[in-house]
Every structure is written in C-alpha cells, then in structure tokens.
A and B are shown apart, each in its own frame.
Chain A
Amino acid sequence: NAGVTQTPKFRVLKTGQSMTLLCAQDMNHEYMYWYRQDPGMGLRLIHYSVGEGTTAKGEVPDGYNVSRLKKQNFLLGLESAAPSQTSVYFCASSKTLAGGPWAYNEQFFGPGTRLTVL
C-alpha cells in the first residue's frame, strides 16, 4: 500500500496564478484533511472532509477551496495564489471508528507539497 500520496512535491507560482494539489489515499479512510505548516506555527487545518461529497472549513480556510468527489481523493485548490500562501501543505487521512473519544483515529500524513508563491 502506498498510504497517502501527494502531487506535486514542489511548485512555484506567481501571484494570481491558480493550482490544484492532489491527495490520494489507498487505505479506504473516511476522513481526509488538508493542513499547512509554517515555521513556528505547527500544523493548521485548512479544510477537511468526513466522507465522499462532504467538506468543511478548518482553522484557516480563506483563499482555498476543496473537493472530495471520490472517497480516495481530496483536492485542494488555490484560485488566486498570494505570497502569504507560501507554505508546506500536508494531506492526511484517518479511519472512522465508533466509540467517541476512545476511537483510535490516528492521522496518516502524506509527504507534503512545498509551495512558493512569488
């Protein structure tokens, strides 16, 4: 199993350009997430999805859109890139389990996409 994969690995954009980051998982996980990681700020949740066809906003959703048309894929779009969106983007996925807080819902992360916006 490949686990969680992300494409592309690196990208340089000019301000105002658009792009889509693709995340794919082969673990049949229900939940998928997009995070951004900036120095000294840890991981901040952009958007997440609790199942095919559903998405929800996270902590820092402005400037991003997402789609989950297929269970295994979660796309992150930047419609008009800004230098403030320069970051490392991580996708993650986790299972759905019954049992509330006792549910063992570790997140599996992809290798990341390093995006620079000039």
Chain B
Amino acid sequence: GQQVMQIPQYQHVQEGEDFTTYCNSSTTLSNIQWYKQRPGGHPVFLIQLVKSGEVKKQKRLTFQFGEAKKNSSLHITATQTTDVGTYFCAGRGTTDSWGKLQFGAGTQVVVTP
C-alpha cells in the first residue's frame, strides 16, 4: 500500500535559521496537504498542492510538490519561536477515495532563541 515518509523526524533549529522538511511517497499522489500541530494541540491545515512542480508560499513558509508528484517539501526561512510544533504532510493516492489521506509521521520542530 501507499506509504508516506517524512524526514527528519526531529529538527532542532536556532531562531533565525532556515530549515527544510521532506515528504516522500512510495506511489504517485493526486495531491498533498500540510498540517501543523502545536504542542498539546490538534493538527491545523496549512496548504494543499495539486499540480506537478507546484510551489506555494505563505509568508516565511514555502511548499513544493515534486515533478513526479511523489515528494514534497516545506522550507521555513528565518525560523521564529512561533514555528514550534510538528509538521505533517498528508497525501492522497491516485486510487484512493478523494477524502482519504495518508499522513506522514511528522517532523517535530524545536526552536531555541
């Protein structure tokens, strides 16, 4: 079955630095979503990517969908303490029910001032 893997599992970042988290699927995806979960909270939707090679930006966050639609990345520039949390990617396989997502294990981000 489809598997979605995220690396790294854990990211320790100094405030002001940039970092990237990666998401890889074993199969081609129809679309991919990213969610953020603050410590003790619930996942909150950030963005959805659909097109091959698509790039979307939200302020300091840049999301990219690979050309083969099997991988994605989230790049955060000038990390702030408000970026603390776990970032999940979630992909829908081309044969899956449109509402069904496969979540990666997440990248836990810790920011030190």
Contacts and interface: CB of A to CB of B under 8 A. Distances in A.
Interface of A: 31, 33, 35, 40-45, 48, 50, 56, 58-59, 90, 92, 94, 96, 100-112
A111 B99 contact: no
B51 to A, nearest CB: 9
B31 A101 contact: yes
Given A42-B106, A106-B48, A90 B100 contact: no
Interface stretch (B13-21, B38-46, B55-63, B76-84): B38-46
B43 A100 contact: no
B101 interface: yes
A47 to B, nearest CB: 11
A40 B106 CA distance: 8
A106 B49 CA distance: 11
Given A40-B9, A109-B43, 13 more contacts: A42-B104, A42-B105, A43-B103, A50-B99, A58-B100, A100-B98, A101-B30, A101-B98, A106-B33, A106-B45, A106-B48, A107-B101, A110-B42
